[in-house]
């Protein structure tokens, strides 16, 4: 799971990362259950953050309240043509967390603080 910790001037954002190398079917079945989505929705609502389970290759499996990325990230990616920089950063921090098997926190190019905690099954 990955928590993007907001600083005073950043937007709230939360990411969860699931590494499921040999257990894809069972993990997806768990994530797609209605109870899990309800937990995601309540967490997003309580903390006003985006919570997401990602596959190791970056695909979203579940999103709390189906919240989109925050406006700053969307602006950076779309309007300022930073999609490739953002994607590289996301992959870098994800791989670092997976390799360390612990939470990793770094500042992204836009100044957001992003943390990723991998969950192994």
Say how many Å lie between the first and final Cα of the chain, rounded. 12
Range of the domain at 99: 2-120
Query: What is the arithmetic mean of pLDDT over 115-119?
Result: 81
pLDDT in tens, 4-19: 333 222 233 344 444 4
Write out pLDDT tens, residues 43-98: 899 988 888 887 777 778 788 899 888 888 889 988 889 999 988 998 899 899 98
Number of structural domains (the chain) is: 1
Mean pLDDT of 10-34: 50
- Please, what is the angle between helix 83-100 and helix 71-78, to 10°? 120
The DSSP result for the chain, as a single string, is -EEE---TTS--EEEEEEE-TT-HHHHHHHHTSHHHHHHHHHHHHHHT---EEE-TTS-EEEEGGGPPPPHHHHHHHHTS--HHHHHHHHHHHHHHHHHHTS-EEEE-TTS-EEEE-EEE-
Pairing of β 13-19 and β 2-4: antiparallel
Q: Percentage of the chain surpassing pLDDT 70?
A: 73
**pLDDT value of position 42:** 94
Indicate the pLDDT class of residue 30, thresholds 50, 70 and 90: low
């Amino acid at each position: 799971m990955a928590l993007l910790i907001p600083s005073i001037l950043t937007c709230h954002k939360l990411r969860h990362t699931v590494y499921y190398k040999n257990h894809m079917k069972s993990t997806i079945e768990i994530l797609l259950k209605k109870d899990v989505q309800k937990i995601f929705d309540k967490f997003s609502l309580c903390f006003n953050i985006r919570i997401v389970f990602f596959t190791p290759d970056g695909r979203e499996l579940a999103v709390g309240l189906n919240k989109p990325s925050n406006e700053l990230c969307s602006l950076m990616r779309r309007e300022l043509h930073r999609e490739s920089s953002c994607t590289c950063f996301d992959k870098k921090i994800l791989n670092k967390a997976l390799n360390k098997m612990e939470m990793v926190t770094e500042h992204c190019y836009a100044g957001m603080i992003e943390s990723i905690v991998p969950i192994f099954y």
